[in-house]
């Protein structure tokens, strides 16, 4: 299950900001029985990129029956500049809806975004 979630995250990501070839935000999901349908990668803030700031944000949230994220909150953060893009990415992400006979999970899901600059390769 864990490798399936990772595979979906790696192949189903979208919304990388234009001009961010030399930086990235990597996603790590908590264990959950909900399958991501659309995972949005947060935009690396221009100011953070310019100032060469890296960081990590863990955002926790509920997933409703329809697969939408609700009650989104930052659990921990190494730098506030990454919090808003992380929250926006979670808001824009969706999960597989539950069937009528499935019980709604009461445990919060968490997603950790790791913002890291990649070294510029010599041309």
Please give the CATH architecture assigned to the domain spanning 2-117.
2-Layer Sandwich (3.30)
> Is the Cβ–Cβ distance between 115 and 56 less than 8 Å?
yes
pLDDT of residue 89: 97
With bands split at pLDDT 50, 70 and 90, how would you rate the model's confidence at 33?
A: confident
Q: What pTM does this model have?
A: 0.73
pLDDT of residue 121: 58
Give the residue with greater pLDDT, 56 vs 32.
56
pLDDT of residue 23: 56
Handedness of CA 29, 34, 36, 39 (dihedral sign): negative
Q: Domain coordinates of the chain in residue numbers?
A: 2-117
What is the residue-wise DSSP string for 6-20?
HHHHHHSEE-PPTT-
The 94-95 sheet, strands edge to edge: 13-14, 36-40, 94-95
Query: Average pLDDT for residues 102-110, to the nearest whole number?
Result: 85
Average pLDDT, the chain: 80
């Amino acid at each position: 299950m864990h490798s399936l979630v990772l595979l979906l995250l790696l192949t189903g990501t979208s919304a990388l900001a234009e001009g961010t070839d030399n930086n990235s935000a990597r996603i790590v999901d908590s264990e959950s029985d909900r399958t991501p349908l659309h995972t949005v990668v947060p935009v690396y803030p221009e100011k953070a990129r310019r100032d060469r700031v890296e960081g990590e944000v863990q955002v926790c949230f509920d997933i409703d029956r329809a697969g939408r994220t609700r009650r989104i909150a930052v659990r921990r953060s190494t730098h506030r500049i990454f919090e808003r893009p992380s929250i926006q990415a979670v808001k824009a992400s969706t999960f597989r809806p539950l069937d009528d006979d499935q019980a709604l999970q009461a445990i919060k899901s968490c997603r950790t975004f790791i913002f890291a600059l990649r070294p510029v390769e010599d041309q």
